[in-house]
Amino acid sequence: MNMVDFNSQFHLSMDWDWWFEFLKGMVKPLAALAVVLIAVILSFMQNLGLEKEMVYSIFRAFLQLSIIGFVLQFIFNQGNSGWIILAYLFMVLVAGYTAGQRAKHVPRGKYVAGVSILAGTALTMFVLVVLNVFPFHSEIHYPVAGMMVGNAMTVTGVTMKRLRDDIKIQLNLVETALALGATPSQATQEQVKRALVIALSPVLDNAKTVGLISLPGAMTGLIMGGASPLEAIQLQIVVMNMLVGASTVSSIMSTYLCWPAFFTKAYQLETKVFSSD
């Protein structure tokens, strides 16, 4: 047997060993479907009609997580920062689309949400790297970016929707302020403040109660992976800090980007934006 044949058989053996370990590891997730079965049975007994949606949701989660697991494995094996950036931009793209769907009555809502999420998460990650809180390494940056993008997506979508709805409710008040010479930022100051407070409150409430009511996912995952509770706490503190920072920057940025769609160049309200329900 020559060296080429030996290497081929070695890599083939490694591939089979990898698949065996992967399938072996999936036994517990499959066993956990038992609790989903209980939920489906209860839904049927209570005539909730959620059985198909429960099964579909779990199947979709199973499929998505499996795919992202292979993607992460590929990215980690490459050790190339280009793949990290590409995956991050894909997350931002999906998050911007999702947040824009929530604020569907905001013109160019998907663009506004995407740019806001990109600005908030990129700035936060840049600061963390500069301060050497996180080294520039794929195995850390991808999950960290995912947590920030997910939170920024929720906060940005709520901010945009709430701002538009509040201006619509208080349309006469805003128009009066504009007629008296106020700028769009001055005329909508209270609406912007209310939208930001409502959107950011869940993030701040979570920070205030973390560790008292529930253990966050990052901390739980580290402990289950064998890390000491003290190490897990240190990372979780960093995570909470970055979530607050990224969410705040993204939500505030979205309010500034919404103004051109809400007002004309003559500082008048775009009535068509607020005519639909």
Compare 235 and 164 and report the one with higher pLDDT: 164
Mean pLDDT of 50-65: 89
Classified as helix, coil or strand, 226 is coil
Compare 213 and 203 and report the one with higher pLDDT: 203
Query: pLDDT per residue over 93-106, tens digit each?
Result: 999 999 999 888 88
Give the C-alpha separation, 157 to 61, whole Å. 22
* Number of helical (H) and strand (E) elements in the chain, helices listed first: 12, 0
User: At 2, is the pLDDT very low, low, confident or very high (cuts 50, 70, 90)?
Assistant: very low
The whole-angstrom distance between residue 79's C-alpha and the CA centroid of its chain comes to 24
Mean pLDDT of the chain: 83
**Given a cut of 80, is residue 14 above it in pLDDT?**
no
Q: How many CB atoms lie within 10 A of CB 188?
A: 27
Mean pLDDT of 73-84: 76
DSSP state string for 128-163: HHHTTSS-S-HHHHHHHHHHHHHHHHHHHHHHHHHH
State the pLDDT at residue 154: 93
Contact 122, 253 (CB under 8 A): no
Classified as helix, coil or strand, 185 is helix
**Given a cut of 60, is residue 4 above it in pLDDT?**
no
**Given a cut of 90, is residue 247 above it in pLDDT?**
yes
Give the C-alpha separation, 112 to 255, whole Å. 9
